[in-house]
Structure 1
Amino acid sequence: MNKNEIISEIYSIILDRINRRPQGSYTAEIVNKGKGYVARKVGEESVEVIVASLTEGKERFISEVADLIYHLLVLMALEGVTPEDIYKELERRRK
């Protein structure tokens, strides 16, 4: 897999898990708890990224950033926002 496509692939998997809600899926579990719960997870993971940046090593920081990105993707899916929407906004800001 092309590493530039990983975000889109994970987003597609998240959409599938939201639609199918398979038993044992962490994505389905947090989505079943509601958008507010997912939004709080994004906040929680954001704090963990900050703490890792200030007091923990690079590997822990990488792990926490990955957790934050995953939870952001779940929240984006619940909001009907795609990675492409974000890419377009970033591109617009770049100009």
Structure 2
Amino acid sequence: MTAFTLADLERIVAERAASADLKSYTASLYAKGIGKASQKLGEEAVETVIAAVSGDRQGVVSESADLLYHLLVVLGISGIKLEEVLEELDRRTAQTGLEEKAARGHD
């Protein structure tokens, strides 16, 4: 089991986003803005689904890594900390999934 966490990835993304490294993919995504970063997030989500439906286990692993990375980029550009998402998940798990979904009233 790895000790690497999503908090580690969030920190790395933030560091690279703030860098002036012209070779940094993260810095280039931040520079292109939320539209491009969101597009990449959507592409990775679709690629993850395709791998899953295809039964491509390694593909799911690889695409999921891309998906999580791009999600953290979108969150970062949006000024949202991973901790906020985790707090929301914590709040939701205080009740059953069906109760939580019904309380949202828009799904």
Alignment TM-score, normalising by the size of structure 2: 0.81
1:69 and 1:29 mapped to 2: Cα distance?
A: 17
Structure 1 runs of 4+ aligned residues shifted over 2 Å read 2-5
Deviation at 1:3, TM superposition (A): 4.2
More helix by share: 1
Secondary structure, counterpart of 1:22 in structure 2: coil
2:5 and 2:64 mapped to 1: Cα distance?
A: 15
Greater relative contact order, per chain length (Cα 8 Å cut-off, separation 6+): 1
Number of the residue aligned with 1:63: 62
Q: In the alignment, is the contact (CA less than 8 A) between 2:17 and 2:30 conserved in 1? A: yes
* Greater Cα radius of gyration, structure 1 or 2: 2
Number of the residue aligned with 1:34: 33
Deviation at 1:9, TM superposition (A): 1.0
Q: In the alignment, is the contact (CA less than 8 A) between 2:33 and 2:77 conserved in 1? A: no
Unaligned runs of 5+ in 1: none
Deviation at 1:12, TM superposition (A): 0.8
* CA RMSD, Structure 1 to Structure 2 (Å): 1.6
2:63 and 2:90 mapped to 1: Cα distance?
A: 25
Deviation at 1:56, TM superposition (A): 4.3
Q: Percent identity?
A: 34
Aligned length: 94
Secondary structure, counterpart of 1:24 in structure 2: coil
Superposed CA offset, 1:53-75 (max 9, x none): 01141011110011000000000
Alignment TM-score, normalising by the size of structure 1: 0.90
Q: Which amino acid aligns with 1:71?
A: H
